[in-house]
Each structure stands twice: as structure tokens, then as C-alpha cells.
Amino acid sequence: MALALRQRSILPGFGLTLGFSVLYLSLIVLIPLSVTFWKASTLGWGSFWHIVTAARAIASYEVTFGCSLVAAVVNLFFGVLTAWVLVRYTFPLKRLFDSLVDLPFALPTAVAGIALTSIYAPNGWLGRPLLALGVHAAYTRLGIVIALTFIGLPFVVRTVQPVLEDLDSELEEAAASLGAGRWQTFGRVLLPTILPAALTGFALAFARAVGEYGSVIFIAGNMPMRTEITPLLIVTKLEQYDYAGATAIAVAMLVVSFAMLLAINLLQKWSGSRLGREELEVLPIG
């Protein structure tokens, strides 16, 4: 009896809150995903495989996942750099720039797509000088990467920024006093600390980019086999009343997305455990 009392949580209402959480998760996530898999299962394996491996579908996968990966890598680099500047430096209008990072969260994706298309179109402010250099931005895969980079940057900045704020600058001063150069300080002190947060931001930016639709369809050009993203292909099949085909491609995207996110999370866990071991190794003995 005493053991049971000791194991009870001091926070009341666990059963009720757990029930509401499971109900909410089921209504919002589990049931819709289950229906998607069930609808795709009505096709049969042969028909399902024929749909998801069609040439047009594979081309859309390459565009969607390839551009999303490139945009996430770009955001990983510039997101960490932006977070560093916002945390470590003081400059005029710093709060304004800090608030502008969250603009893609509040801006409707269609508005972002129209704005980016207007800017990077051949007659746009940035599209005209790029075209003079032989670079076509709008209606190409480069335009898709630009749109996905725009909507994914806040995920990296907002995950790395709190870690940098909690990181004591005295660690860098101690490393410098011991003779470490700037790159050594970054690689040995800063990078191991911010790496798990950076990988989390990378995963979030990648996941958002894979499912992005509104900001991409305007700047992509939507040319089948070239610049057509998978979400647009799904919408096209829905407009053609091919609901089974749309769900089949949606299931294929879900499976690939889950697999890639699982790999990223495992990498993040590995980096976190490695950081913990390194911290234990440098603890003073005695």
C-alpha cells in the first residue's frame, strides 16, 4: 500500500488529461491518417504500386523532396547564422529584425507565393538582374527552393536562438584563454551545444517544406515532369475525382516523410548522447 502511494504522481488529473490528449490526437491525427491508408488499401497492391511509381509521380517526388532538402540545408546554415547575430550582437532596429523572422508564420502562404513570384519573375526587381546573369529564378526549381527557404527559416532560428541565449559567453572566453582559435572554439564548444537544436530546426523546416503548397504553386510554374510538386499532383487527381490515386500518392509521401524524419530524429538523439558523453569525459575527478 505504501509503495502504491509513493508511485502516485503528486499532480492530479493524469487520467483525465491523458484521455483528452488521446481523444484530441485521435481526432486530429490518427483517424485521418488511418482513413488515408484504408482508402489507399482499396486499390490493391498492383494498382497502388502502378500509381505511386508512375513517371509523373516519381518526377514530383524528386522535385518535392529534392527542393525541400536543399531549402532545409540552406535554412540550417543561415538560420544558425541569423540566430547568432540576433543573440550576440546589438544593432539598430534589432527588435524589428527579430520580429521579421516570424513573418512567414503569420503571412498567408498564397500571399508569400505571389510576392516572391512578383519579385523573382523575369521582369521583377530581383528577377531582371538575375536574368541578365543567365539565372532563371521564377518558374524553375530554383524558385521552388527560394519559396521553401522563405517559409522554413523561422523553424531553425527559433529552435537555435534559445540555446544560444542560454549559452554562457564565458565558455568562449575560457577557450580563447586556453589558446583556442575562433574555428576551434566554434567546433569544440559551440557546435556540440547547438547541434541538437539545429538538427531539430532542420527537421521542422524539411517537414514544412515537403507539405508546402500555397507559396510554391505560383513561383514553380507547375510543369509536369519538371517543376510539379507532389501536393499539386494530389490536388490535380482530386480535381479529376481520382480519390484513390490521390490517397495512394499521399500515403507514399507519408511513408517517405516518416522514414526521413525518423532518420533525422535518430541522428539528433545520437548527437545528444554523444554530447553527454563528451561532457562526462571533461568532468574533473576528485
User: What digits encode the pLDDT tens for the residues 117-175?
Assistant: 999 999 999 999 999 999 999 999 999 999 999 999 999 999 999 988 887 766 766 77
pTM across the whole model: 0.83
Q: Give the pLDDT score at 271.
A: 63
- Note the pLDDT of residue 273: 66
Q: What is the pLDDT of residue 154?
A: 94
The answer to whether 215 and 116 have CB atoms below 8 angstroms apart is yes
Residue 7 has a pLDDT of 58
The three state secondary structure string of the chain is CHHHHHHCCCCCCHHHHHHHHHHHHHHHHHHHHHHHHHHHHCCCHHHHHHHHCCHHHHHHHHHHHHHHHHHHHHHHHHHHHHHHHHHHCCCCCHHHHHHHCCHHHHCCHHHHHHHHHHHHCCCCCCHHHHHHCCCCCCCCHHHHHHHHHHHHHHHHHHHHHHHHHHCCCHHHHHHHHCCCCHHHHHHHHHHHHHHHHHHHHHHHHHHHHHCCCHHHHHHHCCCCCCCCCHHHHHHHHHHCCCHHHHHHHHHHHHHHHHHHHHHHHHHHHHHHHHHHHHHHHCCCCC
Question: Which domains does the chain carry?
Answer: 58-274 (1.10.3720.10)
Q: What is the pLDDT of residue 20?
A: 85
The whole-number pLDDT of residue 10 equals 64
pLDDT the model gives residue 2: 47
Low-confidence ranges of the chain (pLDDT < 50): 1-2, 5, 282-286
